[in-house]
């Protein structure tokens, strides 16, 4: 195969191709290639990539279409043109057939991979392809798996080349090899395809319905399939998932006369979106980079970071009404309300910076998205960046921090400064290469951040949008005492534990989507079926497409039909807990599955059932970076005086404590007994649920539900930490003396105090005590 030919041999073969004559249609009497039908379609890219494609295709077709798509450019009808591939291209390991989507990861080694060697193998092993962490987390909540071992995936795959990553600096490879040795459950060497459910087993093992739930619902976003193909979810497959623009409506807006502009499921334009050097002009606008909305087409479930980064959150109502009096159009199958975008994505910027927001790719590295050649079992295993990589700390610049800062995993780091990089690894030179200035900043794991440089006393982020931003560096702010908010200075400089043991976003994530309770029905009766994304991805055709690629078909199906809804939604400041790195982090409801399962004979096997995990009820809360960062952090009281933040539930778990009993809305006597004989239950009970879904710890009993299924350090805030943090009722330290009128008249002068005066009075009292 072509990908096995070494670099020197490739160059020789390409030179050979360039020396061959072009088969000109004018002297053969044949058609003039693909553009005889597709006249008006845009070149996929400009610059060196297009020159390389057209040069390679010199002997195949003048336009270069066959290098990516295969097919027969000399054919006179559509069926023949969209079949086969030029003989020499086949022999060289290029396109073997006609490929409607050359980016499909299943044939991309013969298309994109001809030039971009290694990417295809890495993506197949990455979470973008395997979704190993999603499977482990979901099956944990259903009581199917009971450990942290991520060994299931969308397909069988092995890491054949050992624990050392294929790419990265020597420091990165050493760091990741050691991390994998320390955490083998989170860095598996192989994955097995999660197997389908035998419906005859459901009556005896109803929690196996969790496998159906995963196969039919959760696994639809991996890049091996086309996905739901509904409004907001239209995308390509494989490389095309990210690098080809699709609008929310999925309509084609280019000039190819053969493409129906009224039929959804099409790319917006035949262009590649990638880095700053890949510019696209359409509808009077020119853009570069990959819009965050492209990422959102997949990242809208689970931790919901796509909508959150854009500043929107799922909600049930669909209001305000449209001009015709209807609800908003559903997006990703849901309705949304606007809250506030992540500060990195907001168009208004800080003083001295241009107007415009950052893209996902401006922070997330190539390894974050494509993988490094090993198999990660969780997001934390693959993502290599930390906030401090760019912002540093109040006491150290980013280049003064040791490698691993921010992800200590309960261990201690050495004091050696990571420094700066002065050259880029080969795999990073494929993208836009920026001038290094004083040097490239390094990620927490030791790779250069190729778009982030030190330039004198500034740290500059080069956005793929074409804009350059000065980064607020905490040590500079501390040294010049230019804090915008006094509470920020106190939190970051006066309390060491904050910087030592907390994620930055524990305070700076101003909100988080919180979908409490995932009520799921899996119904196997009457032969019900639905799309099976695992079956689809393991049934790839020779054209590189999976059966679901046919618009509206959803491809192969399996037994069972899933429906789901929520208990209630929240967006205010989230609960805090501990993540896999051992740091304080926001938590959000994860797989809080409350299940009803109906077998093939129509019998309800379990009703509103909560499954058990080794940590408690499977009402999981997941450590999360919500991607809702604000310039001003959450205030002190929102952590220290709010029982919900500490894990005790909204209003200290006072409400929703009777949800395990049926609720009747009918006539009742004084003792609450239902009067009518024909009364029906209004709210069905959840038998195992004796507390609000926002409660993760009991003051007396400790942890009561699962918190984080992937890493051993993840969990609720430890009791000792909760006890130290909690400051509820501190007002009474002073105000309980109000009943002593004589005393209170002495200290309450000059009368009512506003907030600033009150803080000053408390400060004076503390200073008086110090004296």
Same domain for 456 and 391: yes
Structural domain includes residue 486: yes
Q: Note the pLDDT of residue 49.
A: 84
In this prediction, residue 763 carries a pLDDT of: 85
**Distance (Å) of CA 510 to CA 27, 644, 692:** 68, 15, 22
Is 456 in the same domain as 539? Answer: no
Chunked in runs of 10, what are the mean pLDDT values of the chain (771 residues)? 43 48 41 84 87 80 89 91 93 94 97 93 97 96 96 96 96 97 97 96 98 95 92 96 97 96 96 95 96 96 94 95 96 96 95 96 97 97 97 97 96 94 94 96 98 97 98 96 87 87 94 96 97 97 95 93 95 95 96 96 98 95 96 89 95 92 96 96 95 94 94 96 88 80 80 81 86 88
Please, what sign has the CA dihedral across residues 735, 740, 745, 747?
negative
Pairing of β 575-578 and β 561-570? unpaired
Q: Report the distance separating Cα 704 and Cα 105, nearest Å.
A: 42
69 and 22 housed in the same domain = yes
Q: Are residues 717 and 745 in the same domain?
A: no
Q: Where a domain ends, among 98, 119, 135?
A: 98
Cα dihedral sign, 264-270-274-279: negative
Q: What are phi and psi of 448, to 5 degrees?
A: -60, 140
- State whether 467 and 537 are in the same domain: no
CA dist 491 → 117, 495, 578, 626 (Å): 47, 6, 19, 20
Same domain, 568 and 614: yes
Tens of pLDDT, residue by residue over 671-711, are 999 999 999 999 999 999 999 999 999 999 899 999 999 99
Task: Tell me whether residue 57 is in a domain.
Answer: yes
- Tell me if 584 is assigned to some domain: yes
C-alpha distance from residue 138 to each of 207, 218, 613 (Å): 11, 9, 11
* Structure-token pair, residue 275: 């880095």
Tokens of 577: 């807990």
Range of the domain at 633: 517-725
Note whether 493 and 558 are same-domain residues.
Answer: no
Cβ neighbourhood burial of 256 (10 Å; 0-12, 13-18, 19+): middle
> Is 449 among the domain residues?
yes
Alpha-carbon gap, residue 46 to 44, rounded angstroms? 7
The structure tokens listed for 148 are 């942290």
Query: Tokens in use for 740?
Result: 């002593």
What is the residue whose two structure tokens read 């190729």?
450
pLDDT in tens, 715-768: 999 999 999 999 877 887 888 877 888 888 888 777 777 888 888 888 888 888
pLDDT of 68-112, one tens digit each?
999 999 888 999 999 999 998 999 899 999 999 999 999 999 999
Task: Specify whether 745 is located in the same domain as 702.
Answer: no
User: What's the distance, CA 592 to chain centroid?
Assistant: 18
The pLDDT of residue 583 is 97
658 lies in the same domain as 753:
no
Task: Give the Cβ contact number of residue 23 at 10 Å.
Answer: 17
Q: Which two tokens stand for residue 177?
A: 């090899």
In degrees rounded to 5, what are phi and psi of residue 336? -135, 150
686 contacts: CB under 8 Å, gap ≥ 6: 594, 608, 610, 659, 660
Parallel, antiparallel, or unpaired for β 697-698 and 702-703?
A: antiparallel
- Domains identified in the chain, total number: 4
Token couple for 13: 């073969």
Domain limit, last residue, from 476, 506, 536? 506
Residues 694, 739 within the same domain: no
Same domain, 720 and 737: no
Structural element, H or E, at residue 121: helix 119-125
307 φ, ψ (degrees, to nearest 5): -60, -40
Beta strand pairing call for 514-523 and 279-282: unpaired
Length of the chain: 771
Residue 229 and residue 531: Cα distance in Å, rounded?
12
d(CA 443, CA 758): 43
> Is the residue at 250 inside a domain?
no
Of 484, 506, 528, the position where a domain reaches its end is: 506
Nearest to 694 by CA among 546, 573, 578: 573
**Which of 309, 372, 368 has its CA nearest to residue 343?**
309
Per-residue b or e along 689-711, where b marks 16 or more CB atoms closer than 10 Å to that residue's CB: bbbbbbbbbbeeeebbbbbbbbb
- First-to-final CA distance of the chain: 81
Classify residue 744: in a domain, yes or no: yes
* Rg from Cα positions in the chain: 29
Residues 530 and 669 in one domain: yes
Q: Is residue 404 part of a domain?
A: yes
258, part of any domain:
no
């Amino acid at each position: 195969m072509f990908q096995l030919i070494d670099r020197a041999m490739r160059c020789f073969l390409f030179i050979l191709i360039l020396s061959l004559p072009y088969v000109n249609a004018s002297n053969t009497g044949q058609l003039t290639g693909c553009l005889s039908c597709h006249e008006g379609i845009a070149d996929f890219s400009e610059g060196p990539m297009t020159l390389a494609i057209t040069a390679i295709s010199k002997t195949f077709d003048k336009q270069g279409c066959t290098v990516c798509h295969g097919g027969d450019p000399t054919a006179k009808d559509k069926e023949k043109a969209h079949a086969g591939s030029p003989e020499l291209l086949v022999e060289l390991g290029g396109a073997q057939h006609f490929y409607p989507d050359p980016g499909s990861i299943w044939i991309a080694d013969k298309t994109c991979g001809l030039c971009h060697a290694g990417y295809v193998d890495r993506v197949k092993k990455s979470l973008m392809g395997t979704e190993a962490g999603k499977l482990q987390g979901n099956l944990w909540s259903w009581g199917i798996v009971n450990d942290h071992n991520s060994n299931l995936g969308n397909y069988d795959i092995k890491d054949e080349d050992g624990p050392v990553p294929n790419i990265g600096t020597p420091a990165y490879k050493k760091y990741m090899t050691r991390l994998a040795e320390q955490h083998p459950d989170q860095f598996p060497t192989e994955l097995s395809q999660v197997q389908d459910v035998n419906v005859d087993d459901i009556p005896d093992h109803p929690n196996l319905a969790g496998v159906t739930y995963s196969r039919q619902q959760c696994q639809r976003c991996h890049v091996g399939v086309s996905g739901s193909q509904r409004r907001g979810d239209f995308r390509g497959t494989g490389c095309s998932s990210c690098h080809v623009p699709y609008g929310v409506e999925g309509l084609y807006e280019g000039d190819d006369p053969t493409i129906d502009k009224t039929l959804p499921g099409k790319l917006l334009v035949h262009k590649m979106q990638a880095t700053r050097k890949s510019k696209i002009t359409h509808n009077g606008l020119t853009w570069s980079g990959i819009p965050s909305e492209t990422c959102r087409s997949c990242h809208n479930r689970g931790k919901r970071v796509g909508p959150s980064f854009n500043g929107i959150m799922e909600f049930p109502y669909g209001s305000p009404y449209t001009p015709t009096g209807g609800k908003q159009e559903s997006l990703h199958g849901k309705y949304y309300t606007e809250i506030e975008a992540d500060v990195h994505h907001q168009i208004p910027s800080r003083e001295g910076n241009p107007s415009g927001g950052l893209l996902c790719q401006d922070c997330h590295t190539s390894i974050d998205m494509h993988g490094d050649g090993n198999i990660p079992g969780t997001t934390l295993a693959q993502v290599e960046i930390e906030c401090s990589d760019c912002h540093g700390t109040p006491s150290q610049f980013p280049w003064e921090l040791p490698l691993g800062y921010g992800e200590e995993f309960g261990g201690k780091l050495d004091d050696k400064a990571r420094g700066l990089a002065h050259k880029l690894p080969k795999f990073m030179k494929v993208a836009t290469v920026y001038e290094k200035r004083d040097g490239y900043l390094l990620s927490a794991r030791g790779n250069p951040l190729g778009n982030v440089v030190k330039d004198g006393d500034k740290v500059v982020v080069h956005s793929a949008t074409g804009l350059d931003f000065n980064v607020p560096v905490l040590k500079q702010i501390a040294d010049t005492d230019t804090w915008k908010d006094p509470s920020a200075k106190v939190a970051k400089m006066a309390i060491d534990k904050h910087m030592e043991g907390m994620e930055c976003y524990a305070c700076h994530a101003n909100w988080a989507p919180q979908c409490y309770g995932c009520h799921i029905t899996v119904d196997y009766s009457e032969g019900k079926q639905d799309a099976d994304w695992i079956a689809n991805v393991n049934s790839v055709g020779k054209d590189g497409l999976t059966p679901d690629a046919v618009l509206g078909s959803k491809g192969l199906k399996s037994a069972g039909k899933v429906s789901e809804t929520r208990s209630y939604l929240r967006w205010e400041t989230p609960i805090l807990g501990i993540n896999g790195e051992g740091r304080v982090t926001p938590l959000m409801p994860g797989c809080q599955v409350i299940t009803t399962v109906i077998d093939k004979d129509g019998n309800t096997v379990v009703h509103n059932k909560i499954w058990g995990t080794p940590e408690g009820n499977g009402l999981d809360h997941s450590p999360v970076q919500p991607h809702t960062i604000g310039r001003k952090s959450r205030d002190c009281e929102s952590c220290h005086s709010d029982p919900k933040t500490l894990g005790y539930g909204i209003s200290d778990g006072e409400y929703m404590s009777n949800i395990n009993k049926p609720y009747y809305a009918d006539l009742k006597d004084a003792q609450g007994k239902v009067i009518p004989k024909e009364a029906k239950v209004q709210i069905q009970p959840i038998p195992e649920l004796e507390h609000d879904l926002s409660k993760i710890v009991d003051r007396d009993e400790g942890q009561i539900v699962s918190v984080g299924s992937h890493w051993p350090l993840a969990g609720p805030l430890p009791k000792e930490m909760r006890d130290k943090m909690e400051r509820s009722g501190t007002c009474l330290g002073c105000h309980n003396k109000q009943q002593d009128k004589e005393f209170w008249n002495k200290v309450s002068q000059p009368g009512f105090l506003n907030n600033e005066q009150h803080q000053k009075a408390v400060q004076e009292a503390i200073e008086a005590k110090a004296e």
